[in-house]
Structure 1
Amino acid sequence: MTTSGRLTAAHLEHVEAPGAMLTKPAARALAVFRISLGFVFLWAFLDKTFGWGFATTSERAWINGGSPTKGFLSSVAVGPFEGFFHSIAGDPWANWLFMLGLLGIGLALIAGIGLRIAAGAATAMMALMWIAEWPLARHTSSGEPTSSTNPITDYHFLYAVGAIVVAFTYAGHTWGLGRWWAQLPFVQRHRWLI
């Protein structure tokens, strides 16, 4: 600021609009975070679909007849919903819902559109995965240690909160299609699609 209290051009480069809460560097950092978080979901979809050999081998790839949910859900060995998760492990509807969730969340976050829906879907998916891993327990149903290091705040919680943060801060407007998306007449009429 100048001694007269007015903002100079140098100061304005850090503010997108009068009264804006985010500086340009903060908006860019949120955009990098949004794209990175989206890539976590998209990568999981791609690896489970094509079996690139990271978490999923080629033989267990979805396109080769593998089940994206069977391994994880059938190995749930803790918590009050253990039996439920075992019962749906490998069911086609569970596979499709899980994979469409990974793909949709990943693409929405990377593109910067539909972030409210993506945040809701990511929160629901992460809550279900948190419940399946049940980090509150110290021992599995067979008495083995669970290796839980924090009963509440783990990566599921952080991914969900991260998706909510990028939705609430309009992080899709920076290095994404969010600004264009928000101007579409259909989205203007249905603001929950932003």
Structure 2
Amino acid sequence: MTTSDTAVAATRSRAGWVLLSITRIALGFYFLWPFLDKLIGLGYSVCRQEDNSIEVMCDRAWLSGGHVTEGYLGSATGPLADFYADLGTQRWTDWVFMIGLLGIGLALMLGIGTKIAAWAAPAMLLMMYTSHLWPTTNPFLDDHIIMALAIPAIVLVELEHQSIGLGRWWRRVVGDRRWLI
């Protein structure tokens, strides 16, 4: 078997395509969960009380009027700390952040709009990375960078062979507008 035969056989691996789809969905949940937590206060980054109890819909939840980016951006470190801390004082950042989390999360989980999510996710992740320079476990590389590389790679490879999700149906809906896939 030649190298090209091996490569062709590898691309036909059903298990591989399914694992790529599962990974895409898991990465989507990585974005959707903080959206839900910040939206109604599920106690992970919002609404956990000092006694470790959770008060859903506390004052810090977005639906209760909480300013969800203020704490994270206010704790920025590194050379861009002042820039991000200033952004954290502005309420419009809540809208951009929350819409980004929801849009990226749903796109990756459902398998629709994945091309847009493949580029929006790394942009958001790189901003998160630069807001808290330098990482504590490695001076150059952390999970934000790894995901910023993995998401477009997974989406672009899996795009035409999506095993799980609404991608095939969505491609028919968007037709020639391939950038919406």
TM range, smaller chain: 0.7 to 0.9
Higher helix share: 2
Q: Whole-Å Cα distance in 1 between the matches of residues 158 and 18 of structure 2? A: 11
Aligned length: 164
Determine the C-alpha separation between the residues in 2 that align with 1:22 and 1:157. Answer: 29
Task: Name stretches of at least 5 consecutive residues in structure 2 with no aligned partner.
Answer: 2-7, 48-57
Q: Look at both structures and tell me which one has the larger radius of gyration over its CA atoms.
A: 1
Q: Which residue of 2 aligns with 1:151?
A: 139
- 1:170 offset after TM fit, Å? 2.4
Moved more, 153-162 or 114-123: 153-162
Question: Which residue pairs with 2:61 in the alignment?
Answer: 61
Judge which range, 166-175 or 109-118, deviates more. Answer: 166-175
Instruction: For 1:46 and 1:38, locate their aligned partners in 2 and report how far apart those are by CA, in whole Å.
Output: 13
1:167 aligns with 2:155: yes
Alpha-carbon distance in structure 2 between the residues aligned to 1:189 and 1:20: 29
Root-mean-square deviation (CA, aligned residues, Å) is 2.0
State the match for 1:38 in structure 2.
28
The amino acid of 1:149's aligned partner reads: T
* Counterpart-to-counterpart distance in 1, 2:12 and 2:27: 20
Could you say what secondary structure the match of 2:59 adopts?
A: helix
Tell me: CA distance 1:22–1:165, structure 2 relative to 1, closer, same or farther (3 Å).
farther
**Gapped regions of structure 1 (runs ≥ 5):** 2-17, 137-147
Please tell me whether residue 88 in structure 1 is matched to residue 87 in structure 2: yes
Q: Partner residue of 1:24?
A: 14
For residues 94-137 of structure 1, the C-alpha deviation after alignment (integer angstroms, 9 at most, x for no partner) is: 1100000000000000000111100111000001011001126x
The aligned amino acid for 2:138 is N
Could you tell me whether the CA contact under 8 Å between 1:68 and 1:90 is conserved in 2?
no
Name 2:179's counterpart in structure 1: 192
Give distance in 1, aligned partners of 2:113 and 2:158.
10
Matched residues in 2 for 1:154 and 1:23: separation? 30
Q: TM-score, normalised by structure 1?
A: 0.78
Contact 2:28 2:105 in 1 (8 A): yes
Q: Which amino acid aligns with 1:192?
A: W
Once residues 107 and 188 of structure 1 are traced to their aligned partners in structure 2, the CA distance between those partners, rounded to angstroms, is 20
Contact 2:24-2:155 at 8 Å conserved across structures: no
How many percent identity over aligned positions? 43
**Aligned partners of 2:21 and 2:158 also within 8 Å:** no
Give the drift of 1:149. Answer: 1.3
